[in-house]
Amino acid sequence: MECLTLNKSNCKNCYKCIRHCPVKSIRFTGNQAYIVHDDCILCGHCFVVCPQNAKKITNEVEKVKVLLSSGDPMIVSLAPSFIANFNGAGIDSMREALKKLGFADVEETAVGATIVKREYDRMVNEESSDVIISSCCHSVNLLIQKYHPSVLPYLADVLSPMQAHCKDIKKRFPGSKTVFIGPCIAKKDEAQRYEGIVDAVLTFDELSEWLKEESITVGRSKDKNDQSRARFFPTTGGILKTMAMENSNYTYIAIDGAENCISAIKDIESGLVHHCFIEMSMCTGSCIGGPVMGREHFSPVKNYSAVAEYAGSRDFDVAQPDSGLIRKNIEKIDREVEIPTEYEIRETLRRIGKTKPEDELNCGTCGYSTCREKAIAICQGKADISMCLPYLRDKAETLTSKLSNIVPTALLLLNEELEIQQVNKAALALFNLRYESDLMGEHIVQVMNPKDFMTVLSAEKEIISKPVYLAEYDRYVEETIVYDKYLHMLLCILKDVTEEKKQHDYRENITQKTIETADNVVAKQMRIVQEIASLLGETAAETKIALTRLKESIKDE
């Protein structure tokens, strides 16, 4: 069973999970993040940091309900960090609430922690190993098993408190089933790998949801038990607080957090650490900073205070089993890892624009520490070229620059202070300038009247293809200004229409002259017609007079 899975519909491809994954066990493909389970150490960091809640923990509530229905008594091993997760609760109030769900009884995992810490004391006193690493944290165990197997001889081959307690429960109550409840995802995997000890694992979140469904409220409790020193186990240094630490030949160190654990393990591999007992916890703050507490209940000071106030000063009264009964095999876990050749790595680096060492920025934006690590991940199919932000930025800027510079239209990009942020070659030519630096950062008033820009900025209404005459440059342009409120930028497009304007004016002039000539011709023709008409009129009158006289003369005769 996979303990941690992906809700594909929620993944927004932000790469936050890979940035926080200490072993880079995330694979990106098809704009989705996938957990590489063979590589995963179940630290739960990706679950905690995912802003889209795309990672989900496999829920075992139904499995527990089936076990309850079997009729076998089920006893809960409750992680000591419960005191930090359920405010004001004590073991008595937790027992009361869980019995309402059908459990036969509830005990504290800290009982098993007492057994484990005694075995650690014995190993230190016998100096069984030069370096002894605590094996309570299953994520630390997986880290060593999968990535640093050379350190396995130093990892204490002792059952975890969860296992030691559940094994003790089954010894005391034959035929019973055990359920561990805590803040850890990795415990689900630990229960599966070592069958027959823990029958099911629930997280605090799963328990809280179940209690809510059944309308069961966990009450407050002030129960105190001085024989409860092992309740310190879920805090950083908590194991050491419970140990005797009588062997002065050993140095006792508590380390928490993935980076610190990895660094310490590498130091051990390098032979830099000797005569040392190391308490290792994958989570910062140890179990009270577990992944299922990280979102809602992680408060280092408050959580530690809650544990410290609840813990006693003496050990639980529990019989210590023989050492052989609390041992477990912690073996190397093989991973299928394809190591790319140097040529493949260099070729991948070249594809993302890393052709020389100074190109490798190692910015970590993609989630990998170095560009080389990223290139290896690409070769292994775990990453994509598009995850490199500098590469995408350079690619976008190059493409944008090429496109803007081949466009014959002048482009200017301004901020809300009307300072020029970007120009293209056409804009430089329009303003008779040679270099971008002549305009970059300058106020638009240096080259244009800012009135239209101020109007667009204040009214948030764009100007489209407005005719403007740039007198200083003797240029006619069509001006378009658009304001992007989200980016807080103004885009100005100036289409040079000077030639078109001149051609238009020339045609207008020719047309006007043609009209004037036609009017002159028409007027002249009218004058001629009028003159002809006048002459014809005089001739006709004279003819009429002459004929009239001739007519009268003939009559007289």
Report yes or no on 535 lying in a domain: no
Q: Please give the pLDDT value at position 388.
A: 72
Domain containing 430: what range?
407-496
* 371 burial via Cβ count (<10 Å: 0-12, 13-18, 19+): buried
Six token digits for residue 345: 């790595």
Pair 299, 357 in one domain:
no
Domain final residue pick, 370, 387, 406: 406
Which secondary structure element, helix H or strand E, spans residue 258, and what is its range?
helix 258-269
Report yes or no on 455 lying in a domain: yes
Q: Please give the pLDDT value at position 383.
A: 79
Pair 98, 143 in one domain:
yes
Choose among 411, 336, 423, 418: nearest CA to 381.
Answer: 336
Q: Please give the pLDDT value at position 394.
A: 67
Pair 395, 435 in one domain:
no
Report yes or no on 381 lying in a domain: yes
Contacts of residue 500, defined as CB under 8 A and 6 or more positions apart, other chains included, come to 476
Pair 299, 359 in one domain:
no
Query: Residues of the chain whose pLDDT is less than 70?
Result: 9-10, 294-298, 389, 391-404, 540, 544, 546-547, 549-553, 555-557
348-352: list long-range contacts, CB under 8 Å, 24+ apart: 348/375, 348/378, 348/379, 348/385, 349/375, 351/385, 352/385, 352/388, 352/391
Pair 349, 309 in one domain:
no
Pair 265, 243 in one domain:
yes
- The CATH code of the domain that includes 376 is 1.10.15
Choose among 417, 150, 341, 140: nearest CA to 254.
Answer: 140
Report yes or no on 154 lying in a domain: yes
Pair 427, 391 in one domain:
no
Pair 202, 147 in one domain:
yes
Pair 204, 347 in one domain:
no
Domain final residue pick, 258, 292, 319: 319
Report yes or no on 527 lying in a domain: no
Torsion of CA 295, 297, 299, 302, to 10 degrees: 180
Rounded percentage of the chain residues whose pLDDT exceeds 70: 93
- The CATH code of the domain that includes 439 is 3.30.450.20
Report yes or no on 114 lying in a domain: yes
| Helix, strand and coil in the chain, % to nearest 5 | 45, 15, 35
Q: Please give the pLDDT value at position 395.
A: 63
Pair 262, 372 in one domain:
no
Six token digits for residue 59: 């829920």
Q: Please give the pLDDT value at position 200.
A: 97
Report yes or no on 446 lying in a domain: yes
DSSP, res 327: B
Report yes or no on 447 lying in a domain: yes
Bridge-based pairing of strands 489-496 and 410-415 is: antiparallel
Q: Please give the pLDDT value at position 491.
A: 92
Pair 300, 348 in one domain:
no
Q: Please give the pLDDT value at position 127.
A: 94
pLDDT tens figures, 467-492: 999 998 999 999 999 999 888 899 99
Domain final residue pick, 406, 424, 444: 406
Pair 302, 389 in one domain:
no
Domains identified in the chain, total number? 3
Which secondary structure element, helix H or strand E, spans residue 138, and what is its range?
helix 138-147
Q: Please give the pLDDT value at position 8.
A: 73
* 187 burial via Cβ count (<10 Å: 0-12, 13-18, 19+): buried
